[in-house]
Amino acid sequence: MPHDFFSAEPIARIEPTEFMAQLLAYRGLDVATLRVRHTVLLPLLPELESRLLRRLGSPVPQQQAVLRQALYNPTDLPFSLIASPMGAPMAVMLLEQLIALGARCFLYVGFCGALAPEYQIGDCFIPLQAIREEGTSYHYFPAEVVLTSSERCNMLLLTQATAKRLAVRQGTIWTTDAPYRETAQKIQRFQAAGVHAVDMEMAALFAVARYRHCEVAALLLVSDECYHPTWKPGFGAPRLRQACRDAVEVCITAATTMAAAR
């Protein structure tokens, strides 16, 4: 059972700070060289990473010392940018390493599947709490703990989206490790419980943020509708492409505001 994963011991055999110290020394780097900023913007998909980099003027990447991902510190902006791997375990490894390097506020932008019929392809969603159906979060907190995103960061996201006249909803997300086992019965059960959407990372990211006393929030775009009798994907749809462009603008402004408000 997932709750058996949890250990109350506060110190792990491999702590992120110790791991990063060893890794940086091996590569001839140090924390000052990487210059990871307090606030980090993390696209969860290559398409969103590419859009962000183009919008930011193609900044020069720093050394690839954080999960071998390219780290960017855009000129004249106060946040760092790095692509997050998909899936809870790898996304958490990157988050832990960024925290070990000094970052404290994390804004994710990615896709989600809609469970609620009022959502359509390209709609914007801010997850407030997560149903935990992945394995990673149970190593940080027992099963009964409800994991939530940062209220402060959620408000900043909502404010920026509203300022740009984007319709955005908020609610509960279902995080699963098994996207190919989202069965009709499970979807109906989560719909009845008022769950808005499904993804693969949020519950685990919320767990790490709470455990490490950091802030995590996300702006997710509906890429597929899972509430029909058959799956309705929207990848490549014009409305989703426009939503990606809008989300990039919202997240840049929100990350800038988050960094300034630290």
Q: What is the mean pLDDT of residues 1-16?
A: 86
Given a cut of 70, is residue 126 above it in pLDDT? Answer: yes
CATH number of the domain residue 127 falls in:
3.40.50.1580
Length of the chain: 262
In a domain, 2, yes or no: no
Q: State the pLDDT at residue 224.
A: 98
In a domain, 4, yes or no: no
In a domain, 1, yes or no: no
Number of domain units in the chain: 1
In a domain, 204, yes or no: yes
Torsion of CA 135, 139, 141, 146, to 10 degrees: -10
Q: Are 194 and 171 in contact (CB under 8 A)?
A: yes
SS3 per-residue string spanning 217-251: EEEEEEEEECCCCCCEECCCCHHHHHHHHHHHHHH
In a domain, 9, yes or no: no
Rounded Cα–Cα distance for residues 212 and 150 (Å)? 13
Q: What tens digit of pLDDT does each residue of 30-69 get?
A: 888 888 999 999 999 999 999 999 999 999 887 676 878 8
In a domain, 3, yes or no: no
Q: What tens digit of pLDDT does each residue of 174-229 get?
A: 999 999 999 999 999 999 999 999 999 999 999 999 999 999 999 999 999 999 99
In a domain, 122, yes or no: yes
Q: State the pLDDT at residue 29.
A: 84
SS3 per-residue string spanning 51-92: HHHHHCCCCCECCCCECCECEECCCCCCEEEECCCCCHHHHH
N-terminal to C-terminal alpha carbon distance within the chain: 39
Q: What tens digit of pLDDT does each residue of 151-175 get?
A: 999 999 999 999 988 889 999 999 9
Name which of 100, 134, 114 is nearest 212 in CA terms.
Answer: 100
Q: Are 227 and 116 in contact (CB under 8 A)?
A: yes
Q: Token pair of 62, please?
A: 């720093």
In a domain, 140, yes or no: yes
Give me the domain span that covers residue 218. Answer: 14-260
Given a cut of 80, is residue 2 above it in pLDDT? Answer: no
